[in-house]
């Protein structure tokens, strides 16, 4: 599945040639696009190339001074900021950095927020295609939803070899896959062994079926504090070696000091601080809203949750 890149500013022809030559990129070149037309195209795109322009809008912020920038974001994703010192001279030696705008229970944050883990997994012999996953979102009604995608990053002990597992286990894992296929049929076996999935049960339970099967419950203690409890599950016939590998893989990514959880916690706390902004009354969760078949990296599951929440909060109004 190709990435759809929207370009809304003038771009050198050489840059367009490079983008259009990529076999997995579809380029939509619409310089000057604004307003509702821009929002409609952004909702259907995976990446946006734009800039605010090079006109000087204020005096430079000098050493020892400060200036607060306020702006409204139009969609989640990974962005960056950098300084403009003059209309024709940008500097990369000044202040610059990333801006990550993330919703909850999404999957599009994974390749960027958890880049360290993917670098580790690919460096250890993992499948580079895990960065090019395909999948779907499913609305299960009443606030419940699910997302699933393949190929699974990190492997699945049930029947998909990954870098956390020793090379000597490849044949055993392949044998497990064949046995599952013989028992359940090829189509169902593929869903069971080759896909990761998140099942969201409204209002506060998530079953994460990935490196390890994990059940998470969340209980808000106050408006700015949530307690989360997680349980890692396994079959009753799990061997000691499989248990060691499963728990090690679980801690490597989902543990409190793993590749995933610290980054997620930092971003979720940043989001929580942003939610304290009382001036913005809407959260944009429209990604993929017009798609007939929602993808795993769209926001269907988030809309399903908040629509049910809104129904319950507005009963009798």
Instruction: Specify the CATH number for the domain of residue 142.
Output: 3.90.380.10
- Residue 103 predicted with pLDDT over 60: no
- The count of C-alpha atoms lying within 13 angstroms of the C-alpha of 213, restricted to the half-sphere facing its C-beta, is 8
pTM (2 d.p.)? 0.65
Domain that holds residue 242: 110-313
Q: Over the chain, what is the mean pLDDT?
A: 79
Provide the pLDDT for residue 100. 56
Name the token pair of 293: 């078949």
Are 129 and 68 members of one domain? no
Domain count, the chain: 2
Contact assessment for residue 129 and residue 176, using Cβ atoms and an 8 Å cutoff? no
Domain boundary pick from 54, 73, 101: 101
Kindly state the average pLDDT of the residues 190-200: 92
Kindly state the average pLDDT of the residues 272-296: 82
Are 282 and 161 members of one domain? yes
Contact assessment for residue 165 and residue 157, using Cβ atoms and an 8 Å cutoff? yes
Kindly state the average pLDDT of the residues 257-261: 84
Provide the pLDDT for residue 84. 57
Kindly state the average pLDDT of the residues 89-112: 63
Are 65 and 115 members of one domain? no
Are 62 and 179 members of one domain? no
Provide the pLDDT for residue 65. 77
Kindly state the average pLDDT of the residues 237-252: 85
Are 141 and 289 members of one domain? yes
Provide the pLDDT for residue 6. 80
Q: How far apart are CA 137 and CA 148, in angstroms?
A: 7
Least confident interval from 126-130, 162-166, 177-181, 280-284: 126-130
Residue 254: Cβ-neighbour burial (10 angstroms; 0-12, 13-18, 19+): buried
- Residue 232 predicted with pLDDT over 70: yes
How many residues are recorded in the chain?
A: 317
- Residue 218 predicted with pLDDT over 60: yes
- Residue 274 predicted with pLDDT over 80: no
Domain boundary pick from 101, 124, 143: 101
Are 289 and 149 members of one domain? yes
Phi and psi of 302, rounded to 5°?
Answer: -70, -40
Write the DSSP string, the chain. --EEEEE-S---HHHHHHHHH-TTEEEEE-TT--HHHHHHHHHT-SEEE----S---S----TT----------S-EEEEEE-EEETTEE-SSSSEEEEEE--SS-STTHHHHTHHHHHHHHHTT--GGGGS-EEEEEEEETTEEEEEEESPTT-BTTTB--TTS-GGGHHHHHHHHHHHHHHH-HHHHHHHHH-EEEEEETTTEEEEESSSEEEEEEEEEETTEEEEEEEEE--TT--HHHHHHHHHHHHHHTSTTSSSHHHHHHHHHHHHHHHT-SS-------TTTT-SS--TTSSHHHHHHHHHHHHHHTTT-
- Residue 74 predicted with pLDDT over 60: no
Least confident interval from 229-233, 251-255, 301-305: 251-255
Terminal C-alpha separation, the chain: 44
Per-residue model confidence as pLDDT tens digits over 180-190: 999 999 999 99
Provide the pLDDT for residue 59. 63
Domain boundary pick from 47, 72, 101: 101
Are 12 and 139 members of one domain? no
Instruction: For tokens 């990333």, name the residue.
Output: 98
Are 115 and 39 members of one domain? no
Share of the chain above pLDDT 90, in %: 24
Task: Using pLDDT thresholds of 50, 70 and 90, give the confidence band for residue 77.
Answer: low
Q: How far apart are CA 143 and CA 311, in angstroms?
A: 10
Are 86 and 138 members of one domain? no
Contact assessment for residue 82 and residue 92, using Cβ atoms and an 8 Å cutoff? yes
Facing residues of 47 across strands? 5
Are 303 and 164 members of one domain? yes
- Residue 5 predicted with pLDDT over 70: yes
Are 244 and 275 members of one domain? yes
Provide the pLDDT for residue 88. 47
Provide the pLDDT for residue 56. 38
Are 68 and 192 members of one domain? no
Provide the pLDDT for residue 111. 76
Q: How far apart are CA 301 and CA 147, in angstroms?
A: 7
């Amino acid at each position: 599945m190709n990435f759809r890149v929207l370009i809304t500013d003038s771009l050198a022809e050489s840059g367009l040639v490079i983008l259009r030559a990529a076999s997995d990129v579809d380029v939509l070149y619409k310089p000057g696009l604004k307003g509702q037309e821009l929002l409609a195209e952004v909702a259907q795109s995976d990446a946006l190339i734009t800039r605010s322009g090079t006109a000087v809008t204020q005096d430079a912020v000098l050493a020892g001074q400060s200036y607060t920038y306020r702006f409204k974001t139009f969609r989640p994703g990974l962005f960056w900021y950098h300084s403009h010192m003059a209309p024709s001279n940008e500097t990369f030696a000044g202040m610059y950095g990333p801006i990550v705008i993330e919703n909850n229970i999404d999957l599009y944050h994974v390749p960027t927020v958890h880049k360290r883990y993917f670098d580790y997994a690919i460096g250890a012999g993992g499948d580079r295609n895990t960065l090019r996953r395909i999948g779907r979102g499913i609305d299960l009604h009443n606030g419940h939803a699910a997302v699933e995608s393949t190929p699974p990053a990190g492997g699945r002990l049930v029947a998909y070899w990954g870098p956390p597992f020793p090379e000597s286990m490849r044949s055993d894992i392949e044998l497990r896959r064949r046995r599952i296929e013989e028992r359940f049929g090829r189509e169902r076996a593929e869903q069971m062994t080759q896909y990761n999935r998140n099942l969201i049960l409204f209002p506060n339970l998530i079953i994460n079926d990935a490196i390890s099967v994990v059940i998470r419950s969340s209980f808000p203690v106050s408006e700015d504090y949530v307690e989360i409890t997680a349980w890692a599950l396994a079959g009753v016939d799990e061997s000691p070696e499989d248990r060691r590998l499963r728990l090690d893989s679980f801690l490597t990514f989902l543990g409190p000091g793993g590749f995933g959880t610290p980054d997620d916690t930092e971003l979720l706390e940043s989001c929580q601080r942003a939610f304290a902004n009382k001036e913005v009354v809407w959260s944009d969760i429209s990604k993929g809203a017009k798609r007939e078949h929602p993808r795993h990296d769209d926001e269907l599951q988030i809309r399903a949750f908040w629509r049910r929440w809104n129904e319950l909060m507005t009963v009798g109004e």
